Structure 1
Amino acid sequence: MKKIITAIVLFVALFQTSTLMAQDLLKSTDLSTLKVDYLSDADIVKIKTQLQSNNVTIEQAEPMALAKGMSASEFAKLKERLAMPATKNEAVKKETDKTDEDDSRKTDTFGRKQEKIVNTKVKDSINALVFGSELFDNPTLNFEPNLKLATPVNYVLGPGDELQISVYGVQEFNASVPVSIEGKVTIQYVGQIPVSGMTIEAATQKIRGAIARVYSTVASGQSQVGVSLSRIRTIRVTIIGSKQPGNYSISSLATVYNALFLGGGPGKNGSYRNIELLRGNKVYRTIDIYHFLVNGDQSDNVGLKDNDVIRIPAYMQRVSVEGQVKRPGIFEMKKGETFTDLLSFASGFNEFAYTASVNVLQKTNKEFKVRDVKFEEFNTYTPLSGDVFSVTKILNRFENRVKIDGAVFRPDTYSFYEGMRISDLIVKADGLKEDAYATRAKIIRLKPDLTTQIVNVNLIKALDGDLEADISLQKEDVVTVYSILDFVEEYKITIDGEIKKPGIYNYYENLTLNDLLVQAGGLIGSASKRVEIARMIQSEEIDDANPNKAQIFNIEITATNNEQARNFELMPFDVINIRRMAVYDKPETVTISGAVNYAGKYVLANKKDKVYDIVERAGGLTSLANVEGVKIKRPIQAKQIEAVESVDLNLGKKDSIQKKLTKKLKEDLKFATIPVDWKSIVKNPKSNTNVTLFPGDEIEVAIFNEGVKVTGNVLLTSEIPYDRGKGFGYYLNAVGGVDNKGWKKKAYIIYPNGKAAVTSSFLFFRNYPRVTPGSQIIVPEKPEVKKMSTGEFVSIAGVLASLAGVIIAILR
């Protein structure tokens, strides 16, 4: 029995040793009893995690493990198992650890960790006008502690913090040590050290002293000890009276403003100036947010401790400021503060404010009352709860303004002073201009009842020292000095015809024809020697015997030299026309292309050059030419399009036929095709098909093509070889006939010379056009026909029946 009990105890001890070993490979002092075969996959994962957290590789751990009694064969097994791929359990554990870390921690650039804090914000829409409310609605102003900054020396440690302790120098040691619930940190070979409630600076000194008792090189100074805060604990604070009151988990580095931001700031009736921070059931500090809002002073933004309570009481006194201040809104006032303090909260008056006094709407126990606070009372008037201060605009009027405009050198607005006269104002405006009409100026003056009157002034007498003429001015007077140019009629003169810059020009005294020709850029090459000048007839009396409306002057000039014109003096409103030479036509061309010997452009040498003339000049048709394929493409002129646009077809405003026709002429066609019967021209050059050519015409001579193209609504668009004995139907059948939308009876043919022919019919006989080589057969699409509905059919039948009944009744 004893042997059995002894075996069980040894087995339990061995299993327990293996488990402890799995939990801490580096901290164990005796590894001689470790059996790697007894370790589970979870134990291997724990060993691997321990090595990674201490930045130790398995090779670096080998001499340590052997020194602690572990056999080389067992360490080889351990190394082999650690090198094996992760099992399913390990992979699951890794994923779980990763998720837990992502959900519960956030890590900054320098490795310091902090539990993630999530709070939902609610935007304040009720108290948007309350001064300070915007501070807690802006998501970029959250007052979060900056984990990248050095740990404050007065930071007090507590359970949940984690310290990074390093020994470097001759001896080395590195470990992340959490502060336990009991407030202690446990360091290998050193023991437990209480640090809770101590500042980070004091704890560093205490830990350094404890390590120095174990590591001799630390005491001698050969090794150094470093202590830093690697993980910050989370504390709980309570907020009362905020928009979102409750308990909040926040960083131990957080401050009052950070907690207030998380709570949404003071509630609807919460105070912004008497917020209490309770610590140990006592008021530790009273916070006034206005210190930060007005002056940027963060002295009240103190750090928080676990179990702190932030209490936001109801406000005692609020007033409103509206009108011409830089920051209108609702403000909280403390006892003893004056209107000057309130004005500073509102950032002062704006540039349009009336500052002599401020209107205050006050509340009594029964009703309202109004009071005016004078400028002298700003430093003494104490606002009452519910006061509404209205700051109005300054008046849109001036107390010392006069204005002068017109023929002075500096027309402007000037300051007025008592005793100021018209001559003083003219001196301020740097005097009269040369064109000033000095015998009369006007003053528009405001009367006491704000109506206006005109006062006339003789400036010549006023400037000569006549006190009676030198009128005394009043504020708001507007002085106007006329210019003699205002009374001069603006004369114009017109020149047109063969000149570079025809148009209307200003008339000047002593202006001559030569002057105007030069001003208008000179004559162009087509100008003739004839110049016609029309001048208006002026008379005080009507001469019925003279029917002329204008006087005509005909002048001859030398067109090559503008200066050789007779020095004819012009008068206002003359109209000059430079005539064009009787014969002045620049050479114009036509184009011939296709199957001719010398294709290209040809000048129209004769006004009546015809198709035959140009073809002969082009060397005649080649042997490949299709004599039935000669046509002329004539550009559509702008005048033709204007003629179509000007015709009223009486189609109604909504009809688009005319618009489509105009668009087709402008954008699609561009050319009109004129068919040419070349055989007739060869037989008789005087044939009417030998048309006279216009500039821009293009003669096209098609190359002989034996095919016949069939397109449109047919089953197969194709080109069929020409067969002399075959007719229109043959070529339609050769492409499979028309499709279900084809309109065969409206099929037409376009011949090589551009002429078209359509299908015609007589009684029951249909006559199709003749087919020639190179022609094109086109089958159009049937128009859509709306079928009669059953209802329409019944309606028509009813009408016919009624009509039949009437006819029968009449016949009886």
Structure 2
Amino acid sequence: MVRLKLSSFICGLAAALVLVVSGPAVPTAYAQTPTAAQMEAFKNLPADQQRAIMESAGRGGAANSRAQPDRQVEFPQTVMPLSSVSSEDAPYVDARTGEPRLKAGEAILFSVEIRRYERSVSELEEAQRRAVQQGVQPGTQGVGSGSGTLHASVSGTSEPKLLVRTAEEEQRLEEFRQNILRRNPYKLDRWGILDTPELGSIPLAGLTAEQATERLAAEVRLKDFVVRVTRLALEPIGTEALEPFGYELFAGMPSTFAPATDIPVPSEYVVGPGDTLEVQLLGNTKGRYSLVVGRDGRIDFPELGPIAVSGRRFEEVRKALEFRVSEQMLGTQASISIGELRSIRVFVLGEANVPGSYTVSGLSTITNALFVSGGIKKIGSLRNIQHKRNGKVIGTLDLYDLLLKGDTRTDARLLPGDVIFVPPVGPTVGLAGEVRRPAIYELKDEKTAAALLRLGGGFTPKADPVLATVERVNDQRVRITLDLDLTSAAGNAALLRNGDTLRIAAIRPTLENSVVLNGHVFRPGEYGFTPGMHITDVLRGLDELKPNADQHYVLIRRETTSGGRIQVLSADLKAALADPRSSSNLELAPRDQINVFDLETGRDRVIEPLMRELRLQARLDEPTPEVSVAGKVKVPGKYPLESGMRVSDLLRAGGLLDEAAFRGEAELTRYDVPDGASRRAQLVEIDLQRVRAGDPTADIALQPYDYLVVKEVPMWGVQEEVEIRGEVRFPGRYPIHRGETLRSLMQRAGGLTEHAFPAGAVLTREELKEREKRQLETLANRMEMDLAQLSIMSSQEAGIRDAGQTMSVGQSLLASLREAEPVGRLVIDLPRAARAAPGSDRDVILKNGDTLIVPRITQEVTVIGEVQSSTSHLYRNDLSRNDYIAMSGGLTPRADGKHIYIVRADGSVVTSAGNRWFRNSPDIQPGDTIVAPLDTERMRPLPFWTSVTQIIYHLAISVAAVNSF
């Protein structure tokens, strides 16, 4: 019933489109206007169904070609390649953008991220109301607490919008996202539908990747995600990559047309109406004439009258006219040639791309007519193209002769009314693998595997004809595989069937009777193996190695004959070259792989694959042969355990000792499982001095999973340095030793100049900067949560005064806190530190990266904060704190007059808390900064904000002190 309704609908839609396409020529009784629903359904149909409906409506396709008049085509013509998009792929390419469309069976890749959407305050209130109903109580660090916490952050100013999701929502979305990503890549089914358990069935065929992304983004189940679809353009391989042979000959289009005057006319050309004969008279009578063959087949020759020439070969016509002129015109001779050629009308029918009638040059052949008709469809035969005349087959054309042999003998010339008929393709057989022309071939007289191989150009050098196979569908409609030995007469004489695929396997990629050299060498590659061959026969000298190559550790991967297991060996190349008769000059075996490392980069690229192979062949009674070295060696890491390997060999594998290595002792951790139930660690002390001296008692043999740690020389490390700038006699960078103090540094820098202001010295430290950065992030996050809580409380509680002002101030403080740059300043008293006794608590110990800035003498006093005009004033010893504030316009209404504090030039802070002297008459000094803080208590009982304002002011003062230099 459903199919009947769909068929009726399509038929009705086609009938409705007839009026739109054909116009008033359609009878009124059958004309109808398509509805909006029909047009929308038409747009959603696949491209092939759309074309079928349009053809039935009278537009495009074969129907259109039959209705057109003869095509006028000049000859000869050249053929240019088409674009990369063939006519068959045109429906799968977006006409506007040129982007490929998704097809059935195509693979796509999903990129999915959780969408970070926003909710307004009103939405947040509703979310909190539901949370309270569910038993979630509001907390101090967010809107809720426990498993139902609503995480919020401010993102607006006029009406704050908050990012809100419960922890359960976040977990559910992340699980949904991981389930989608886990199944990547996805493949469309044969209908072009994406079918997933999470999303259901979504049709994507016919859409570009961008359009598919938009369709998925509109899915309700993906409203919380940002998705992206990427088309995986996978190239077919094997038998799926086979294409029918020969059809690419027509993968072009008629382009520029050349005149026919330069084409030589063959003697067998048959003269007919429309041809032009060029006649030149020589002798007693001179003249030049262009005589056109009329419809009656005659030419009007001056002084000789009408002469019949039609239907005769040009050579016969030429001789006849020359003889007649010489006989009837005494003393005159004629030179006859052919001028413009006539046009003939031929038919190209059958499985041509654009069948129909064509008007072509009289010199056209079968292939010329095939070219102007767009070539042959892939369902058409290339081997049995029929040339018909007067209803009879007068010849056949086998394009394989043209393509494979260059033979054009059967490419006959055409006469008016000739028909070129392309029948359906005959039996086809696929040829894949190691052949020169893998393709799908149409068989004619070829019946055997040997004949098919001749069509395919024969074997490639890497082919293994002994292991050829034939894939076949037998009489029981079951797919089977047959083995063929194409080196035997029986294999070459094996008969092939329609639909068979002959596959030629490649030889094994492994090299026999050879060894391979890889790595940091000038001439890597394969070398022929001879019995008794040693490593020095491949690497004949150190000049074969690139610079910085490891001369002491050359790794060899060997395949043993016992079950395909691998074995790893190493050699000291330098020792082997020094004494070729020593044990270091390892004897090689066939298929050995020699790897030479460099000392600059890691060795995981080679070592790790070997370790994986060794782990796979490990057994319960034979653990993985793996050892490790760490610490002060040049290349620490894991290495294969060789037979008879000792500590010295492991050090050699690690690139030998580093310059910072402690040469006294090292630690070897050894693991064993004595009772078969638990693992036990044992610590073994290694005397490196004796190992390096060659003592066999100290150079112990290694066991699987041994771990050697080479210690560092005490007090060895990266050279530390500090910088001193400003008013010292010798500013610059100074290397320091551990424990060096500021007093020592000042002595090395020559002391202060006469313009120095030691009270304002600034010492910055990198580790303090990192600590301040983490503290600022913590404070900003805490303040952000407080603002979110305040926003909700102010919207729920009635009668709260100045809520908008409080939020505005809080937003400003939060922005300032986010933008504040950590300085890492350490408050010091430089004059005391320079005079401190060695080892006293006033002698500042320096650290790597410290920077000391000694400014020039300053006479300014700065007033900032909640004053009318933040500015700096010239220092006067008769002015007090209040005098400087008054000179800055006084306090603003939002100032906290009870908590004014002073930041000294050295960074220390003097506050009024518990300081009676400060409240009466604080002592102002040059370089001081008076800070009038914001009165946060008046707006909201959040004393934490007071600390934030103090931090922001203090950082600003420190930055100004550093930048002023």
Q: TM-score, normalized by length of structure 2?
A: 0.38
Higher relative contact order (CA 8 A, sep 6+): 2
Q: Larger Rg: 1 or 2?
A: 1
Q: TM-score, normalized by length of structure 1?
A: 0.44
